[in-house]
Structure 1
Amino acid sequence: MLRNIGKKNIQSYKRYYCSILNNNKNLSPSSQQQPQQQPPTNNYRHNYFSDVQNYKPYEDDNILVKSNNNEINNNYKKNHYHQDQQLISVQSNLGFIGSLKNQMEKLTKITKNGLVTLWKDRSFYKDILLPKSSALNESFTKRILPTFPIHNQDSFRYLTFHERKSIVSYRIDRLSMIPLSIFLSIPFSTLALPFYIKFLPGLLPRGFSERSQVLSRHHKITSLRRRIVEKVIEGYGLTNEINELAFKSISDITPLKLKPLQYKLDFNLEDMKRSKLKKYCRILGHTTWFNSKSSLIEKFLNSGSYTIQENEAIAKEINELTFEDLQDLLYSRSLEYDGLNYYDMKTKFLNYVSLLKSISVIEDGEKDLALNPNTNLSNRHQSHFYKQYLILKIVLIHYQV
């Protein structure tokens, strides 16, 4: 009996997901923009259950585009206005029952989208991505990890940006199902499921979150990093030096302006306490749970060089990135994206690529910080690129450029 119910639910989830997918195909921004090229949307696989596509047109940063046909929208509003008003009045009269019903309907919608998206991602990962990633020669342990190994340069050679992103994202989603499964195994836990979805969205697969919730998490994590950065700046007494730089945009930042700060921070990694290493790694955007000191040092030393190689691979596919891709990309580089349109975000990322490359050339980071697992720690200390990379992160987060 339970098996039949499960089959029916999955079939209904598939029908629901397909309808959303078909509706989202008709969504496109307006055609009158400054650059003629529009942000691509067909390669963005994850359609959140919000009925509004989460990209903005060039001419207006504050309006979300629902359709490129205003006449259809106006006719729809005229035909359905009175029906919507009647529905609102009935729901308001129901009071608590109506509110509870709305919450349950939304919860059902979230759950359907989350499960269907996870199932579709699993099929896509198993049938398409996994055969391609087999060229990477990953071990079983590496396959269950949520990110690519820091030394794996082959991922840029065999996989596109969206393929790499989909593999990493699915692995994270797969791991996030573990706490959800444990939670649902508790008797009567389904009664608390709305609270789990509302207050712990980070412990759920992506399909359970609206795009607005993803952006909200971006802002929260960035705020946490900013507090860590301010503590580091105050701890080293660098408040005046940092404020004197007065960077207003990423175009104002140059390697020579960052160079004096290199001698003000502590980079004696062998004698550094684990707590300080954790701060450095969190500023760089790494998780530090269950990491030994040697693992933290490994992340700290290799992060900048890995980012350079990833930047170069992404720059070749920059025109294939969607609006959401660029938002996620700027967030991962500690760059602000609020109020920016598609063209501005793309330009900002390319400026960042150029800046980081110039820092690497000056510090000779490409040679001494090559992603080679056999390179010992003392040789990596011959280059100062990893120091400048941390300083750049501190400046970007502090000035919110």
Structure 2
Amino acid sequence: MPHVLLVEDEQVNREMFRRRLERKGYTVLPADTGLGAVALARRERPDVILMDLGLPDIDGWEATRRLKADPVTAPVPIIVLSAHATFDAKDKAFAAGCQDFETKPVNWDALFRKLDEWLAKGREAAAAHAEPEPDPGATLLPDSPAPPKAERADTCAVGPKRILVVEDNDANRIMLCRRLGARGFQTVEAANGREALDAVRRAPFDLVLCDIMMPEVDGYEVLRQLKADPALRDLPVIMVSALDETAEVVRCIEMGAEDYLHKPYDPVLLHARVNACLDKKRLRDQEVAYLQAVAALTRAAELVERGEFDPELLAPVVARGDDLGQLARVFDRMAREVQAREQRHRDDVRHLTQIEFDAAEVAREVARVTASAAFEKAARLAAVARARRQGEPSPTTETVLLHKLK
């Protein structure tokens, strides 16, 4: 019986949804908060999740992002149920990782069709990832090892997002870190620009929130140095300032900042812009990982041509769960077979070399035999016989000559 995680904070709606789903034969796991839904999904592993967006602790968008960031729950399809029917709400939901969207009030026939569709896709995916039965008659090289499902669910590393908060005002910095921490982000504090530059060169971050007006090294200089460093130029930066002048905003954007926030912070706007920047970085990381995988596959092809194929080079690409990973697994299997054939050819060459040594021994033995007295005598007799035959002598003459030679 399929298990459906129902995330809805309104008790009346939750009970109504539960009864309709149970009448259809589903087992319903209810949750009334986003954090509770994340924990329940990890513990119970439902087959599908119905997600409301307006939740009291973390909203449905954030809950969806957390579920998709966890390898344990990432494969579970999420259908958003919301009265927010705007294009922006839908775009944010799909950007967070949901698979489908149903507007409230719910069209039950359409919802049940979507549930059946995503449950069927889940069964197909599970069957595709199931290990095949071993073939007792197979003698070829084994296929490339299939990576664990958790590794194949994503194309780049997924984990808690690290945000560097650069702010010289202690109260503002602590407040900002507290708000971000409540959303599940890991924060690191820097009290000035110099500390910020040291921090980003010491450890990786997903985002920098940087104040502009600071002592020693201001926000502009931090931004300039980040964008001038090839290793850090792709790190997204949101500039923060009490300056509410268009010229300052334009200057920051032109220098490479992803966004600009005015003080005092609007919590909703803060989280929306942070999530938007992190979404862009995630897509950029996926693109970089894809290009690196293509480069590894190209390099592997070059090594195959040179007879120097190294299976370890393709290991990260083989672990991908997308079409490129499938291509890499096929290529890896074929390259291993080519490598095995070339090894057999090398073994054959060594065997032929050994045969040449035996032929040399035969030649020496032939030379020894032909140098013997018996062989020389036989050779003289053969020469006389050929000479007499060419002259057509009588049989009597040949007999006499042969007796003389004896």
TM-score by length of 2: 0.24
Structure with the greater alpha carbon radius of gyration: 2
Q: Determine which structure has greater relative contact order: mean sequence separation of CA pairs < 8 Å that are 6+ residues apart, divided by chain length.
A: 1
Structure showing the higher strand proportion among its residues: 2
Structure showing the higher helix proportion among its residues: 1
